Structure 1
């Protein structure tokens, strides 16, 4: 599983990414990225903990996975794809820039891909979105 702070969970967050994000597609995966507002994150974190004299930091990057029944009618297959994608994301997580909301959309035909292909395609997608550090 992804760490709690790196999960995109709420429908309103997914909707915001779909509405205003930048989309890239590579093979059977599509990624949509939206930069998060640093000021609103600082306001929320300062309200929770009181005054914090530390320098402002960017909010952590949050990632969500969207996979429909068009990919496969079998929940077993869809869950296997999600597990493989989460493992690939965990591997790339240290290289991701902070302050992004990212949605990974799985397209039909992805059930034939294996972990290595997902990792490669995901890395290319994130690099094209300029979300990976050093790329």
Structure 2
């Protein structure tokens, strides 16, 4: 199941900000980069969103997630897309537990292509999100 549009990290600037300023958590199959929401500064691309959609405490900014899979994982696009769909489905299950406002990038390691099981992805994602303190009550 795909992630909702409101929860997708799309722009290159967002990805660069997460890679530049975010914290890293490593697992055996995945690496998580997480950028904590900051109330003091608003990135340029979010200014337009805040002016058209008023955000208050009742309607917080949703957590946005991007998935990065290099050709080092597999040369075959079919394999990379299957991994991406499995990770997106695991993240979709975890969406209600995530704190609002975070920007996350999930990076797939080459070891995931050989031994990929959906339950392992879900378990490792939960563990990495808890380490990064993104989960509710972590």
Q: TM-score, normalised by structure 2?
A: 0.87
Is 1:48 the counterpart of 2:52? The answer is yes
Say if 1:108 and 1:26 are closer, same or farther in 2 by CA, change over 3 A.
Answer: same
* Corresponding residue pairs, total: 133
Is 1:132 the counterpart of 2:135? The answer is yes
Equivalent position of 1:105 in the other structure: 107
Gaps of 5+ in 1: none
Quote how far apart the aligned CAs of 1:58 are.
Answer: 3.2
Is 1:35 the counterpart of 2:50? The answer is no
CA RMSD of aligned residues (A): 2.1
Q: Deviation per CA, 1:92-119, whole angstroms, max 9, x where unpaired?
A: 0000000100000001110111100000
Higher Cα Rg, which structure: 1
Is 1:6 the counterpart of 2:10? The answer is no
Gaps of 5+ in 2: none
Say if 1:92 and 1:47 are closer, same or farther in 2 by CA, change over 3 A.
Answer: same
Tell me the SS of whatever aligns to 1:70: coil
Q: Deviation per CA, 1:65-90, whole angstroms, max 9, x where unpaired?
A: 00000001111100000000000000
Is 1:26 the counterpart of 2:30? The answer is no
Tell me the SS of whatever aligns to 2:103: strand
